[in-house]
Amino acid sequence: MKFMPEPYRIKMVEPIKMTTRTEREEKIKEAGYNLFRLRAEDVYVDTLTDSGTNAMSDAQWSALMRGDEAYAGAKSYYHLVEAAQDIFGYKYIQPVHQGRAAEKVLFPSFLEKGKYAIANLFFDTTRAHVELAGARCLEACCPEAADSQLRAPFKGNMDIAKMEQLIKEKGAENIGMVVMTITNNSAGGQPVSLKNMREVAALCKKYGIHLNIDAARYAENAMFVKLREKECRDMSVKEITREFFKLADTFTMSAKKDTIVNMGGLIGVRDADAPYILKIKANCISYEGFYTYGGLNGRDLEALAVGLYEGIDENWLRYRLGTMEYIGERLDEYGIPYQSPAGGHGIFLDAAKFYPQIPYYEFPGQVLAIELYKECGLRGCDIGSYMIGNDPDTGKQLQSVNEFTRLAIPRRVYTQSHYDMVIEAINEVWKKRETIRHGYKITWEPPILRHFQAELTPVKE
Ligand SMILES: *Cc1c(COP(=O)(O)O)cnc(C)c1O
């Protein structure tokens, strides 16, 4: 496959540092073998996350200058609300400082001790906010997602039968909400089909359960739907987005992903008269700031309003998905296993297939991330047992369905030659996979979201 050329050109550059392998071995050791604890300047290509690492456009940088910094009722707030209402068709739009703030502000209206939330898979902070509200997480991802080599078009889907079984098992009155994550981040940035979304919405209606979209990658998901779901072939990404969102009651969004800004988040409520809007405003004022700025600068609201439209530009999205497909096909040529077909925001290497000799409690995804950093200064992260952590009730290490090392690609930041370098480095690590005999153990961890902060050490030096 040919690399799809970038639909933009470069106006400003940021130099990056080159390091040697010896330096990197020292740096990662000093960082307690936790890639979140590295200094970013010691990284050559940073694919730790695509969250807030995007490059803004000239239009967005100029929008910053128009930011209205009024405490209440700023023009920029109204620009943002109009853009979000136009794209999602929701009546109430609440800006917040990032995705987890949206979760923190919204979830307590639906979740408390004794309740459950069901998702096609929870993102890590989403899981944390369900648990912080006192509730527990249940997951019903389609079985296709567990097999990285099975090329199904919608591996992010909810398993409808399992979802209904969970509702019956726990009692519909105990299910506080259903969360549809689009794209399904933990499954490898895999899309959810409109058909599946309709089925989930129908079940929620049948049992009277609140349906929330975790909407960080709504645009990538809509583009996949356009390319893969026959019914939607002739619809625009915006039309598909409208169809999707009208099926749910609310959305929580990290705007640091598909809306191509560096900071921001949104809550959307479909109905203008939903009673919990009052609670959203009250929580927002307590935790984030007055509800017309939600913890953001006026200029951030303005750049986000522009980014909402840039994010659904179809030439951009074709390039975006094309990049992942290119990397995926080059990995195929080397026989390197990853969650395939490639997802929307990154490549999820199947670390369990790199290192079948390493058990889940020695964190194969983390091992591979460390090896890639040592090899070429590439920073990725574990999306596996290391990330999932311990059962909140028993404290026992959970086993993840997949052991991925995620390379999340920042938007509009790197070029084809960076990706080509990354592909060659992955192949070098792949060729040496049998020489790695042991993984890592945790020497210190905090009780929640431990992967960001924990310290590790090799099981055997
Ligand atoms: C990033 C992300 C979040 C959390 O958003 P932040 O902006 O990082 O707080 C929630 N859900 C999904 C699916 C995400 O990708």
Question: Could you write out the DSSP letters of every residue in 136-152?
Answer: EEEE-B-GGGG-TT---
**Would you say 138 and 116 are in contact if contact means Cβ atoms under 8 Å apart?**
yes
DSSP code of residue 43: -
Helix (H) or strand (E) holding 137: strand 136-139
Residue minimizing CA distance to atom 8 of ligand 1? 99
Does residue 252 contact residue 214 with C-beta atoms inside 8 Å? yes
Mutation pick for ligand 1 pocket among 106, 120, 123 (CB with most ligand atoms within 8 Å): 123
Looking at the DSSP bridge assignments, the partners of residue 212 are 179, 250
Domain definitions of the chain by residue range: 21-50+313-458, 58-310
pLDDT digits (tens, 9 = 90+) for 173-202: 999 999 999 999 989 999 999 999 999 999
The candidate with the shortest Cα–Cα distance to 305, out of 56, 52, 76, is 76
Residue 122: per-residue pLDDT: 94
Taking the model in full, what pTM does it have?
0.96
Secondary structure class of 333 (helix, strand, coil): helix
440 among known catalytic residues:
no
C-alpha gyration radius of the chain:
21
The verdict on whether 418 is a catalytic residue reads: no
- Written as six digits, the tokens of 306 are 């522009």
Q: Are strands 250-254 and 265-269 parallel, antiparallel or unpaired?
A: antiparallel
Q: 408: helix, coil or strand?
A: strand
For a substitution probing ligand 1, which of 214, 254, 258, 266 has the most ligand atoms within 8 Å of its CB? 254
Query: How many angstroms separate the CA atoms of 281 and 72, rounded?
Result: 13
Q: Which two tokens stand for residue 328?
A: 């995926």
CA separation (Å) from 216 to 48, 194, 438?
16, 17, 35
Cis peptide preceding 341, ω within 30 of 0: yes
- In this predicted structure, what is the pLDDT of residue 21? 98
Sole residue written with tokens 């980014």: 307
- Residue 448 pLDDT class (50, 70, 90 cuts): confident
**The pLDDT value given to residue 392:** 83
Name the least confident of 136-145, 279-288, 301-310, 392-401: 392-401
Please identify which of the residues 83, 140, 216, 342 carries the catalytic annotation: 216
Cis peptide before 153 (omega within 30 of 0): no
How far apart, in whole angstroms, are the C-alpha atoms of residue 156 and residue 197? 11
Q: How many CB atoms lie within 10 A of CB 252?
A: 27
214: its two tokens: 């975790």
Half-sphere exposure of 447 (CA within 13 A, CB side): 6
Give the binding-site residues of ligand 1, using a 6 Å CB cut-off.
51, 98-100, 123, 125-126, 181, 185, 214, 216, 254, 256-257, 265
11 catalytic per annotation = no
pLDDT band at 2 (very low <50, low <70, confident <90, very high): confident
The confidence score (pLDDT) of residue 139 equals 96
**Cα–Cα distances in Å, from 6 out to 63, 167, 319?**
23, 45, 7
> Which residue's CA lies nearest to atom 6 of ligand 1?
99
Please determine, for residue 1, whether its predicted confidence score (pLDDT) is greater than 80.
Answer: no
State the residue for tokens 């084809």.
416
Token output for 279: 């609670």
The pLDDT value given to residue 22? 98
What does the pLDDT read at residue 124? 86
* Cβ 378 vs Cβ 414: under 8 Å: no
Quick one: which of 25, 24, 174, 52 has its CA closest to 113?
A: 174
Q: Please state which architecture CATH assigns to domain 58-310.
A: 3-Layer(aba) Sandwich (3.40)
pLDDT digits (tens, 9 = 90+) for 421-438: 999 999 999 999 999 999
Question: Does residue 278 surpass a pLDDT of 80?
Answer: yes
Span 255-275, average pLDDT: 97
Q: Answer left, alpha or beta for residue 19, where phi above 0 means left and psi between -120 and 50 means alpha.
A: beta
Q: How far apart are the first and last CA of the chain?
A: 41
* Over residues 363-377, mean pLDDT: 98
pLDDT tens per residue across span 53-79: 999 999 999 999 999 999 999 999 999
**Structure token pair of residue 335:** 């026989």
CATH code, 21-50+313-458: 3.90.1150.10
Residue 95 and residue 381: Cα distance in Å, rounded? 28
